[in-house]
Amino acid sequence: MHEMGIAQQLVTIALDAIPDDIENPRVEKLNLRIGKLAAVVEHSLSFCLEVISKDTPLEGAELVIDAVPVCLRCESCEHEWQTDTPAFGCPACKDGQVTMISGREIEISSIELADD
């Protein structure tokens, strides 16, 4: 289950992002962007974050996940498109030289702190 490793990294990054001058911070919401090809099981990640964030400012934070579609660009004709299939040939010129623009990312888009 690689979600545990991902959760550990997310907690580390989130905690490092909280300014030191905030006394007793509490994260209310953790907003993530996760690509469709990142192979992350949302329920498993949520469970792992719950376990790892215990006794930290992230404990009890709401997890909001924005699913990022797989977007590709053709290197020949520069056509860009979204896909849900593993066939990565350009629908415009049928060339197979494509670059993935998005779909594999795992990012923290924002952290919302509670106003206590």
Residues in the annotated binding site for Zn(2+): 74, 77, 90, 93
Annotated binding site for Ni(2+): 2
> d(Cα 38, Cα 103) in Å, to the nearest integer?
7
Q: Which two tokens stand for residue 57?
A: 């400012």
> d(Cα 4, Cα 11) in Å, to the nearest integer?
11
Annotated binding site: 2, 74, 77, 90, 93
Burial status of residue 12 (CB atoms within 10 A of its CB: 0-12, 13-18, 19 or more) = exposed
